[in-house]
């Protein structure tokens, strides 16, 4: 699924309990010029979203306290809305469920920089 150029997007929330994956993605996003904020679980993501008001998000499918889609639903109950990407290393996650969950894209873990950049180009309008 490809979206319009969202050149207004500046703040990106990355929610992943895998520290190495989260830090790598945050580093890439910062190198692209985005302001980032991190969370390791759904509850933390909600607190961060309340404060940061992100424009875009990357959420792990399986978090310690909820799944990524549930985390986003909790954030949306606070009237904070943004396009988001679902990420997972689990083979059992069906990409067909991604749209049903409300995500704009799906990334397999370990993340490939080329795929992350493709999503940034497609949805955010920029990527180095």
Radius of gyration of the chain (CA): 13
Domain that holds residue 81: 11-111
> Angle at Cα 16 formed by Cα 21 and Cα 59, nearest 5°?
110
Provide the token pair at 93: 């996650």
Query: Model-level pTM?
Result: 0.87
Instruction: Identify the CATH number of the domain in which residue 90 sits.
Output: 3.40.50.2300
The answer for residues whose C-beta is within 8 angstroms of residue 13's C-beta and 6 or more apart is 36, 37, 38, 39, 45, 48, 49, 52, 54, 56, 57, 58, 82
Q: How many domains in the chain?
A: 1
Residue 26 lies in a domain: yes
Edge-to-edge strands, sheet with 84-88:
35-39, 11-15, 56-60, 84-88, 105-108
pLDDT tens for the chain, 128 residues long, are 334 334 566 899 999 999 999 999 999 999 888 999 999 999 999 999 999 999 999 999 999 999 999 999 999 999 999 999 999 987 766 666 777 788 999 998 999 989 998 998 888 765 54
Residue 6 lies in a domain: no
């Amino acid at each position: 699924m490809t979206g319009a150029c969202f050149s207004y997007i500046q703040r990106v929330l990355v929610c992943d309990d895998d520290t190495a994956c989260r830090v790598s993605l945050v580093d890439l996003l910062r190198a692209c010029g985005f302001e980032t904020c991190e969370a390791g679980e759904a509850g933390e993501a909600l607190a961060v979203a309340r404060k940061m008001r992100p424009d875009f998000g990357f959420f792990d499918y399986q978090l310690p306290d909820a799944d990524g889609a549930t985390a986003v639903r909790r954030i949306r109950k606070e009237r904070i809305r943004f396009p988001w990407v679902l990420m997972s290393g689990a083979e059992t996650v069906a990409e067909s469920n991604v749209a049903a969950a409300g995500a704009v894209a799906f990334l397999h873990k370990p993340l490939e920089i080329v795929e992350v950049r493709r999503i940034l180009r497609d949805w955010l309008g920029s990527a180095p």
